[in-house]
Structures are given as structure tokens and as C-alpha cells.
Amino acid sequence: MLENREGQQIPQVTFRTRRKHQWVDVSSDAIFKNRTVIVFALPGAFTPTCSSTHVPRYNQLTPTFKQHGVDEVVCISVNDAFVMNEWQREQQATNLTFMPDGNGDFSRAMGMLVAKSDLGFGERSWRYSMLVRNGVIEKMFIEADVPGDPFEVSDADTMLAYLAPHAAKPLDVTVFTREGCEFCVRAKGMLTDADIDYQELVLNRDYSESTIRAISGEATVPQIFINGERIGGSEALQQYLEQQHAA
């Protein structure tokens, strides 16, 4: 049975991290003492759900968490420091702190070390998240103890709903561009001026002309999509931003 440890102190362990080609020991107190920290733990680096959803969304929402009093958001996995560092680089998860629990000491002390021998993983962390204030666990979201790898409650949106239920979430923005397009530069500038983060996809590098035509029905660029809605080009984006400002 996976134990909910709300109200308990965080385990005292030493994390073996690797920074600038040097080993650096990090204690539990260094992470949690006199600080507010969100932790999310997962089964393994580079695994599908962890890489496609769990890490990216926490990385995206970390600035929002920090606006509501969180000092740091920490990802913990039973992997060594080299793997965790490389995974963080691959994910471009610069808002997060990746903490290696290579020997499983933290996960074991949390009662969250489980056998994944059927997958050839050995012992790994169960998937969960928690809010920790000054070393005391205030809230835990633990995935159901069922076969497989459930992912229902330890996500970033559930944590944000607990921490700040009325917080505005960042927009999901994608901009399709091509090299040398002045209208694309203008659109990106408007988004930057509005303090809106976006993902840029460049023609013949990240997508083909047939791809954008299939998505939008047009091959012109830029094409801006916000929260799944096609806004259009740079002029349409300007109108959208003016409407948002007036609202």
C-alpha cells in the first residue's frame, strides 16, 4: 500500500548530483528547509509519459507556480545524475530542477520505491507529486495502486488547482514560420512584447508545406495557433492581441 505522508517531515537523504563535471552532494535540507517546493516523482527518464506530458507541463507551469509562492519545482527519478542531466537537456526543461535518486534512497524513505522488474527496470519510483513547505509535506497526489503506469492526479494542472485554483494558465501558442519571412518576425515580436511564450516551427526544418496545408488549409506563413485555435497570420494576431487587451 502506498502511504500518504501529508503532515510528515521529508526524508533526510543526500542526492548525488553532477554539476560542471563535478560531483555535488545536495542534502534534503538544502532543497526543502525554509522553502516551498513542489516535487513530482516518476518512473524513469526518457520514458514516454514522463517525457511527453509530465515533465513538459510542469516546466511550462513553473513560472505560474512561482508567482504563487513556490521557490522551486523538482523532478525526482531513480536514475543517476548523468542520465538526469542529459534528459533535462533533451527536454529543454530549464525551469525545473532534476534531482537524481540513483540508489532509490529518497523514494524508499518515502515508501514509493516499487518493483518494475516486469519491464526490466528493477526498482523505480511510483508516480506522485507533493507540495512541501519548510520540509513538511502539505499535500500529496499519489497515483492509484493499480497495474501499469497510471497518470491521473500527479500532473501539473492538478497541483496548480490545489495551490492556486483561480490562477490563469499560460497560453499554448505555436507559430509556423519560414526563414526570411518578415511577417513571421513581426508576429514573433508581437508575442514577445505581449510576454507570451510560444513554440516556433520552421518550414523545411520542423514541418513541410503539406503539413501546414493539412492543418490550416493554407500554405502561407506565419500561421499562429493559440490553445488549439487557428488565429491566422500576423494581422490576425494583432487583432487578437488588441481584443485581449481591451477585454
Positions marked catalytic: 50
Q: CB-based contacts of 169: which residues, under 8 Å, 6+ apart?
A: 61, 64, 157, 160
Q: Could you tell me the CA-to-CA distances from 149 to 100, 107, 127, 128, 162 in Å, in that order?
A: 20, 16, 8, 11, 23
Amino acid at 83: V
d(C-alpha 152, C-alpha 128), whole Å: 10
Q: How many helices (H) and strands (E) does the chain have?
A: 9, 13
Length of the chain in terms of residues written: 247
Q: Which of 146, 45, 38, 140 is nearest to 100 (CA)?
A: 45
